[in-house]
Amino acid sequence: MKKVDLVVPCYNEEESIPLFYEEIKKIRKDIDALIEIIFVNDGSKDKSLEIMKELSKKDKLVKYISFSRNFGKEAAMLAGLEASTGDYVTIMDVDLQDPPSLLSEMIRLIEEEGYDIVGTRRVTRKGEPPIRSFFARRFYKIINRMSKVEMVDGARDYRLMTRQVVNSILELKEYNRYSKGLFSYVGFNTKWLEYENVQRVAGETKWSFWKLFIYAIEGIVAFTTVPLTLAAIIGIIFCLIAFVMIIFIIVKTLVYGDPTSGWPSMACIIFLVSGVQLLCVGVIGEYIAKMYLEVKNRPVYIIKESNVNKND
């Protein structure tokens, strides 16, 4: 029988974990495959780990990995994928925002129609603050224009992948992991299932607007170097403008003499040009910072305890 691994990152989710488990128990009946749950406890400060341990005692197909502190969802996804042994693997949020009811259709599409990946995307962002939706949409527009790797608006990390796809993703060893990009970078035949946004069952979102903003910058830095080119182009444009201005001033001085005036405009220009310079240095700095982290080659996560044994 085929085995399907659900990788479930959890950060302070004591209320959602039991509800999630009940839902999975329900869908297990309709699916002709073993469904294994790999909970990744991302340094929760509540009872999440105890609940995972309880479940794993009752159910052989529940595994857990517990980090030594909060490393973020990206790290949790990586740990889960590395621990997975199933023929098919998917990431699933524990808050039931990734409808488990889609799973049987996802398995069918891979098995019968030969897709390698079945992804899900929400076509609405109902229930989300409007300002967040607005910036999310802008972000997808910008990154898709700048990067060759296509990022699908509304695509979730909830995607069923074959072993081959998972292995390809694990081949990408970078430290700054931006999974939305890595998933599409590896390619393969992808089918998208669409669904309406679902609210989380319990608890609250772990993503503030600021955290999402930083995450968006990470995505851009990880998947395109267009900002560096833009910095260079802005530099060229400023040089050209300066050149024209110099000629203009020389000619004007020769024709009309040189009465000293115009320092306010000079002050403005100095501000503008130094602002643009700082911006460009900042952009370059972002890339250097990422390189610095990459070069240090620290582990993406540290496991404190786990009951995953790759041989069973």
Where does this chain bind ligand UDP (CB under 6 A)? 9-11, 13, 42, 70, 72-73, 76, 93-95, 97, 200, 205-207
Two tokens, residue 68: 């030594």
The reply to whether 87 sits near Mg ion by the rule CB under 5 A is no
CB of 241 to ligand UDP, least distance (A): 43
Rounded Cα gap, residues 294 and 196, in angstroms: 37
The reply to whether 28 sits near Mg ion by the rule CB under 5 A is no
Q: Tell me the pairing of strands 155-162 and 117-122.
A: antiparallel
**Residue 243 to residues 162, 184, 247, 271, Cα–Cα distance (Å):** 58, 44, 6, 18
CB of 43 to ligand UDP, least distance (A): 8
CB of 265 to ligand UDP, least distance (A): 48
Please give the residues from 107 up to 126 whose contact with Mg ion meets the rule CB under 5 A.
none
The reply to whether 97 sits near Mg ion by the rule CB under 5 A is yes
Nearer to Mg ion (CB atom), residue 10 or residue 166: 10
**Residue 278 to residues 225, 235, 264, 275, Cα–Cα distance (Å):** 18, 12, 21, 5
Q: Which does residue 15 bind out of ligand UDP, Mg ion, none, counting CB within 5 to 8 angstroms by kind?
A: none
| Coil/strand/helix, residue 176 | coil
Q: Which residues contact 207 (CB under 8 A, 6 or more apart)?
A: 215
Half-sphere exposure of 17 (CA within 13 A, CB side): 27
- Candidate segments 53-61, 134-142, 173-181, 195-203, binder of Mg ion by CB under 5 A: 195-203
Which member of 28, 53, 163, 200 binds Mg ion (CB under 5 A)?
Answer: 200
Nearer to ligand UDP (CB atom), residue 59 or residue 128: 128
Q: Tell me the pairing of strands 3-10 and 34-41.
A: parallel
Q: Which does residue 159 bind out of ligand UDP, Mg ion, none, counting CB within 5 to 8 angstroms by kind?
A: none
- Candidate segments 98-106, 136-144, 197-205, 297-305, binder of Mg ion by CB under 5 A: 197-205
CB 286 within 8 A of CB 221: yes
Q: Which residues are at the interface with Mg ion (CB under 5 A)?
A: 93, 95, 97, 200
